[in-house]
Amino acid sequence: MDTIQTTTKNKGGRKLKSNPKKYRHVFRLTESENQRLLALFTSSGMTNKASFLVSMLLDRQVKTVKVDVAALQYHGLLTKLFNQFRAVGVNYNQMVKLCNQYFSENRAKRSISKLEEYTKDLSKLCYYIIRLTKEFEDKHLNTNL
């Protein structure tokens, strides 16, 4: 009767793991070795040092993520520039509507001709930006991966 009671009784605590980690290994590193290990750990992108060391010791390939700061900054500036171009386009459309609505035909033509000159300048600038972007991609970004 005692055996029936002990099998149904809840002992409490957490559930046992199916594959517990029982074995512990300790090793010591010099200052330079520790710096190299920490650099590898941070470049791997892993959040747990134990899992990183296990993967390194058991010859699993560690993925390293390299962030190109210059490329990120260039992308940010290019995004800002694109937003400014879009704002100029919106303002251009509003200006043409207002010229056609409130100005006489001759004055509207003069104003729109000035806008056309500015548009040509913006177009040249856009081609220059595209050329610089292609040069940057060819020099700094490795797109063949």
- Given this model, what pLDDT does residue 34 score? 93
Between residues 126 and 30, the one the model is more confident about: 30
Whether 30 and 56 map to the same domain: the answer is: yes
pLDDT at 71: 80
pLDDT at position 144 is 54
Pick from 66, 97, 116: which residue ends a domain? 66
Q: Which of residues 143 and 61 earns the better pLDDT score?
A: 61
Domain final position from 36, 66, 96? 66
> Does residue 31 or residue 76 have the better pLDDT?
31
pLDDT of residue 7: 59
6 lies in some domain? no
Residue with tokens 């070795």: 33
pLDDT at 69: 84
pLDDT band at residue 30 under the 50/70/90 scheme:
very high
Q: Using CB atoms within 10 Å of the CB of residue 124, give its burial: 0 to 12 exposed, 13 to 18 middle, 19+ buried.
A: exposed
87 plus 40 within the same structural domain: no
d(C-alpha 111, C-alpha 98), whole Å? 10
Question: Do 119 and 131 share a structural domain?
Answer: yes
* Same domain? 29 vs 81: no
Cα separation, 93 vs 107, in Å, equals 17
* Contact assessment for residue 43 and residue 64, using Cβ atoms and an 8 Å cutoff: yes
Q: Which pLDDT belongs to residue 62?
A: 62
70 falls in which pLDDT band (50, 70, 90)? confident
